[in-house]
């Protein structure tokens, strides 16, 4: 989460109140002030002119007109937070397809915000081809990732349609060709006086793709594992943001890191424990519903996504015995828990300890390029990237966690790979499997 700007806490009460300009001036003043310190070291690259348009909707402005600027900002921020959280719940209710579309939309918006900053930093609006190329690379990488996902999870659908089969079989080749076309266009578009700028934008685009696009696809893969693996990590990060802010607001005293002067140790530690508890409770609530717990599958007969299955072991309540020391304190011998709740403790710990580093990284980035927010999409909060900067590390961690501890390889994917092998290889694997299953007693022994 971005550091809490001075808007809500230190703004002068006697500054102009009740109109749009206050928020804009605040941003200008702040950007000028804190940026001065690192201007000397930046040889040459000019700063990004801060955006001054405040796009808070009129009705919100009218509603909070009479209040103090400090509380006005607090209220706008609060209202928008509630609006976003409600939006989140609604999208969950609408199901997996909507979630995938929303993830894709957010990814595109984040990409656009970061590329836009790159344009402003380098004044490269007039560079030939560059916008086209950036969006083209985004399409290529998305095509590659969505193709891999579709091939894995929609295996039955793909087998039916011939044209899809062709696309799947040569998917990597087609993706590579598309990417190469973009690469060649880049080389051909190099213009004599702008080489360095063009290379910078090329690198900027690629790093952005690496961060934003690959991780949004990890989010989608987590989603297919079960909606609970999508909801719980995101909620934990949001909860950590809010808890850390509240604890910091009420008890904050010792600064945490020079990079984000508004973060405090009290907020950090309070957020950690608050998040643990919230994650624990949330996991308990969600683990009971099949809708959240089952892997999302595409039913080719009804052409819909279904989440319908026998819940796996981690979502079945089990008895855990406390160690003696804890037993004496609590006088409970055992406790009924879902194993998933223990996994949620690990997820919460990561979100509280490492998640903030994602936020610090984004703060450092904004200070480096002397911008206040990534964009102005959400009034009171900034851009979409501002809200999602901590989520990225979390998505990768969840994915790696699932792959390492929860599930093995995906059976339908393994079957698919088997079917593509050479017949001799299939036969030898078949025989090896048969012997192995016979040894385990799953198959009846050979009638010999």
The answer to whether 368 contacts another protein (rule: CB under 8 A) is yes
In the complex with another protein, the residue whose CB is nearer, 323 or 441, is 441
The encoded tokens of residue 84 equal: 């976003």
The answer to whether 309 contacts another protein (rule: CB under 8 A) is no
The answer to whether 204 contacts another protein (rule: CB under 8 A) is yes
CB of 4 to another protein, least distance (A): 18
The b-or-e profile of 366-398 (16+ CB within 10 A means b, else e) is: bbebbbbbbbbbbbbbbbbbbbbbbbbbbbebb
Rounded to 5°, the CA angle 68-366-105 comes to: 90
Contact flags string 179-198 toward another protein, x per CB under 8 A: -x--xx-xxx-x-xxxxxxx
User: Could you tell me how many residues of this chain bind another protein (CB under 8 A)?
Assistant: 81
**Positive or negative torsion for Cα 437, 438, 442, 444:** positive
User: Which residues, numbered 77-96, are part of the site for another protein (CB under 8 A)?
Assistant: none
In the complex with another protein, the residue whose CB is nearer, 13 or 444, is 444
Position among 97, 304, 429, 439 found at the interface with another protein (CB under 8 A): 429
CB of 420 to another protein, least distance (A): 4
The answer to whether 323 contacts another protein (rule: CB under 8 A) is no
The answer to whether 328 contacts another protein (rule: CB under 8 A) is no
The answer to whether 444 contacts another protein (rule: CB under 8 A) is yes
Contact flags string 11-50 toward another protein, x per CB under 8 A: --------------------------xx-xxxxxxx----
Position among 169, 273, 320, 321 found at the interface with another protein (CB under 8 A): 169
The answer to whether 404 contacts another protein (rule: CB under 8 A) is yes
User: Which residues, numbered 254-273, are part of the site for another protein (CB under 8 A)?
Assistant: 257-259
Q: In the 3-class helix/strand/coil scheme, how is 14-79 assigned residue by residue?
A: CCCCCCCHHHHHHHHHHHHHHHHHHCCCCCCCCCCCCCCCCCCCHHHHHHCCCCCHHHHHHHHHHH
Residue with tokens 């799947």: 168
Those residues with Cβ within 8 angstroms of residue 307's Cβ, 6 or more apart along the chain or in another chain: 96, 226, 227, 290, 291, 292, 293, 294, 295, 296, 297
Interatomic CA distance for residues 131 and 90, integer angstroms = 34
The answer to whether 143 contacts another protein (rule: CB under 8 A) is no
Position among 156, 207, 317, 330 found at the interface with another protein (CB under 8 A): 207
Interatomic CA distance for residues 111 and 108, integer angstroms = 5
Contacting range for another protein; rule: CB under 8 A; set: 83-91, 281-289, 332-340, 407-415: 407-415
């Amino acid at each position: 989460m971005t550091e809490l700007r001075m808007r809500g806490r230190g703004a002068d009460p006697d500054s102009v109140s009740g109109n749009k300009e206050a928020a804009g001036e605040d941003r200008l003043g702040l950007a000028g002030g804190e940026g001065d310190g690192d201007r000397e070291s930046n040889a040459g690259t000019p700063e990004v002119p801060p955006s001054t348009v405040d796009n808070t909707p009129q009705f919100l402005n009218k509603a909070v007109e009479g209040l103090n600027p400090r509380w006005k900002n607090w209220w706008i921020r609060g209202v928008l937070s509630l609006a976003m959280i409600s939006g989140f719940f609604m999208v969950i209710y609408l199901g997996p397809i909507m979630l995938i579309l929303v993830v894709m939309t957010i990814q595109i918006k984040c990409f656009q915000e970061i590329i836009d900053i790159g344009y402003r930093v380098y004044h490269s609006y007039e560079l030939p081809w560059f916008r086209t190329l950036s969006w083209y690379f985004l399409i290529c990488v998305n095509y590659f990732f969505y193709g891999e996902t579709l091939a894995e999870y929609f295996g039955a659908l793909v087998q039916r349609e011939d044209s899809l089969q062709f696309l799947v079989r040569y998917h990597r080749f087609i993706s590579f060709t598309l990417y190469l076309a973009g690469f060649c266009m880049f080389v051909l578009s190099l213009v004599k006086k702008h080489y360095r700028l063009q290379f910078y934008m090329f690198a900027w685009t690629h790093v952005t793709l690496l961060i934003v696009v690959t991780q949004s696809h990890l989010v989608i893969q987590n989603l297919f594992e079960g909606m609970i693996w999508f909801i719980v990590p995101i909620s934990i990060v949001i909860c950590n943001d809010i808890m850390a802010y509240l604890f910091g607001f009420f008890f904050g005293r010792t600064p945490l890191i020079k990079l984000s002067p508004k973060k405090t140790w009290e907020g950090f530690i309070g957020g950690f424990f608050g998040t643990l508890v919230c994650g624990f409770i949330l996991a308990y609530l969600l683990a009971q519903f099949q809708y959240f717990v089952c892997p999302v599958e595409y039913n080719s007969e009804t052409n819909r996504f279904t989440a319908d299955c026998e819940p796996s072991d981690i979502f079945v309540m089990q008895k855990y015995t406390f160690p003696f020391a804890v037993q004496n304190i609590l006088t409970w011998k055992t406790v009924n828990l879902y194993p998933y709740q223990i996994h949620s403790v690990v997820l919460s710990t990561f979100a509280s300890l490492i998640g903030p580093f994602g936020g610090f990284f984004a703060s450092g980035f904004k200070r480096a390029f002397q911008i206040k927010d990534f964009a102005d999409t959400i009034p009171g909060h900034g851009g979409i990237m501002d809200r999602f900067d901590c989520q990225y590390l979390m998505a990768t961690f969840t994915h790696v966690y699932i792959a390492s501890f929860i599930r093995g390889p995906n059976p339908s994917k393994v079957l698919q790979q088997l079917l593509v092998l050479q017949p001799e290889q299939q036969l030898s694997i078949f025989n090896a499997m048969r012997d192995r299953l016979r040894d385990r007693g799953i198959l009846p022994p050979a009638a010999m």
